[in-house]
Amino acid sequence: DAGITQSPRHKVTETGTPVTLRCHQTENHRYMYWYRQDPGHGLRLIHYSYGVKDTDKGEVSDGYSVSRSKTEDFLLTLESATSSQTSVYFCAISRDRGAADTQYFGPGTRLTVL
């Protein structure tokens, strides 16, 4: 399995509080991604990074920000959590963005916003 860890694995928070999720990789892959998974929607891309300090928006980026100060770490921040952001969040990594470049996924973080 690819060396990807996510922390925390579970979190319960209250509406309006800031939340930061961390993804850490040991594979030295260039690309890192944040997805969310909700019933009926499959996995949806939030943000991705193509290098240190290089990030871009995905399909559902509103209400989320990201940062990547080191190759191995990709942070997802909810500035002011809302109940609609209750979800399971997955980090993924890939060596490059070509069609033959596999994305490997982390174990996920289950976030509940009350």
3-state secondary structure 30-85: CEEEEEEEECCCEEEEEEEEEECCEEEECCCCCCEEEEEEECCEEEEEECCCCHHH
**59 lines the binding site for other proteins (CB under 8 A):** yes
105 is a contact residue toward other proteins (CB under 8 A): yes
Check residue 8 for interaction with other proteins (CB under 8 A).
no
DSSP 99: T
Instruction: Assess 88 for contact with other proteins (CB under 8 A).
Output: yes
Nearer to other proteins, 6 or 80 (CB): 6
Q: Which is nearer to other proteins, 45 or 52 (CB)?
A: 45
The residue from 21, 35, 64, 66 that contacts other proteins (CB under 8 A) is 35
- Smallest Cα–Cα separation from 70: which of 86, 95, 51, 94? 51
Stretch of 20-28, 63-71, 73-81, 99-107 contacting other proteins, by CB under 8 A: 99-107
